[in-house]
Chains A and B, each alone.
Chain A
């Protein structure tokens, strides 16, 4: 408990999320229940103290909504593709393990990118190198070098989307430089 306390602003998203879970589990969003949930959330956050997640402090909802819709579409596409592969190819499917270096060094960003690409077509995180923020992906149905390149491109573009939603200013600057180059 001797660690530096994080500011309320940084902790607020966690507390709000805990209150929402509390309300959802009780299926009761009356003010009294939410207040009690908030008290519990503060108590839990104090007692079970975890290393703080470093949020960048910005969140762009205009990018988040299209990203969520595209994500849902990709999950549907991934499932359909997997169904087809399972039925049509089965044991003859060929795979690849691909290394994708990411731009961001933030733990949260690497985690979020890893989650999103685990859920969309044909990729699974096998190993993470935190020091260089490189993701090693296992990709399903990869038969040529072009497909490997396409997968790398896709992962980088997903990371770019996440940076636009909640990346730091420096990461956004990197993106802008890349687009200009």
Chain B
């Protein structure tokens, strides 16, 4: 620990320590969510959101600790790729989960997609049936 608590170095250390702890708590939150939420779709919420912030905070604390400017672009690119990929994977899993009915309907207060899916399935059945009942 730095002997002088008011030096800029000490502040940077403190800030990165706070970032690291909060980031770790966010990742812990994601893990608790995965365990405690009742169905696949609510678990996907837990899997996508807190760790985006958690990763941001951990990367920021790495950046602060390295004290060189050239790590920042790598960290930023890593975070941007996370931002781009997390929603896509969540969407793919969520979509497959909804279609294969891996969800607890009794926990939904409203479902505006079900009517659309059933209408499309009925139309597909009228037209001689397709494999998954959707036109896209």
Contact = CB atoms under 8 A, between A and B. Distances in A.
Interface of A: 20-21, 23-25, 27-29, 75-76, 78-79, 82-83, 85-87, 90-99, 114-115, 118-119, 122, 124-130, 136, 138, 140, 142-145, 148
A96 B38 contact: no
Shortest 5 CB-CB distances between A and B: which pairs? A118-B87, A83-B29, A90-B36, A24-B73, A86-B33
B95 A97 contact: no
A27 B114 CA distance: 49
A91 B37 contact: yes
A85 B94 contact: no
Nearest to A84: B29
Contacts of B90: 118, 124-125
Contacts, number: 149
B108 A95 contact: yes
Contact of A21 (B70, B77, B109): B77
Contact of A142 (B36, B74, B109): B109
B75 to A, nearest CB: 9
A124 B44 contact: yes
22 contacts: A20-B73, A28-B70, A79-B26, A79-B50, A79-B52, A82-B29, A86-B29, A86-B32, A86-B36, A91-B36, A92-B38, A95-B42, A95-B109, A97-B110, A119-B48, A119-B49, A125-B87, A127-B98, A129-B136, A130-B136, A136-B116, A140-B45
B42 A140 contact: yes
A24 B58 CA distance: 18
Contacts of A98: 110, 112
